[in-house]
Amino acid sequence: MDLYRQHILDHYKHPHHFGRLPKADISKTLFNSACGDRITMELKLGKDGKTITDIRFSGEGCAISQASASLLTDYVFGMKKTDVMKLQKETVLDMLKTELTPTRIKCALLPLEALQKCILEWEKATVV
């Protein structure tokens, strides 16, 4: 098995930041109807309301979606929401360190989409 696929399987079998986040400030669930992947992102924000001080994901799906969520949560921990919103698909795809088919790209990007929609909804809800 090549090293890159092992990297994905390690995050799939032993995901980082997996589980529920008690008293999360923000939560968003997305479902990929094409393959059945489901991801919930939960965030806790610092007192400034701008920095991610804790993050968890839960859900089920293929190794690509789950590994992508694990890698992404590692990457954004401690990051400002504005910086998370600037993340592009290439950032996530680079973290996976392997070429993906077009079908699998949707799986890989579901966690980023959930994370960014989570923040967008929070921003809309907190605007007075």
Q: Determine the pLDDT at residue 4.
A: 56
pLDDT at 118 over 60: yes
* Pair 29, 21: CB distance under 8 Å: no
Domains along the sequence of the chain with CATH:
3-121 (3.90.1010.10)
Judge whether 44 and 21 are in contact, CB under 8 Å.
Answer: yes
Tell me the per-residue pLDDT of 47-78, one tens digit each, with 9 for 90 and over. 988 999 999 999 999 999 999 999 999 999 99
From CA 72, how far away is CA 70, in angstroms rounded? 5
* pLDDT per position as a tens digit, 2-54: 545 888 999 999 999 999 999 999 999 999 988 899 999 999 999 988 999 99
For the chain, what is the HEC assignment?
CCHHHHHHHHHHHCCCCECCCCCCCEEEEEECCCCCCEEEEEEEECCCCCEEEEEEEEEECCHHHHHHHHHHHHHHCCCEHHHHHCCCHHHHHHHHCCCCCHHHHHHHHHHHHHHHHHHHHHHHHHCC
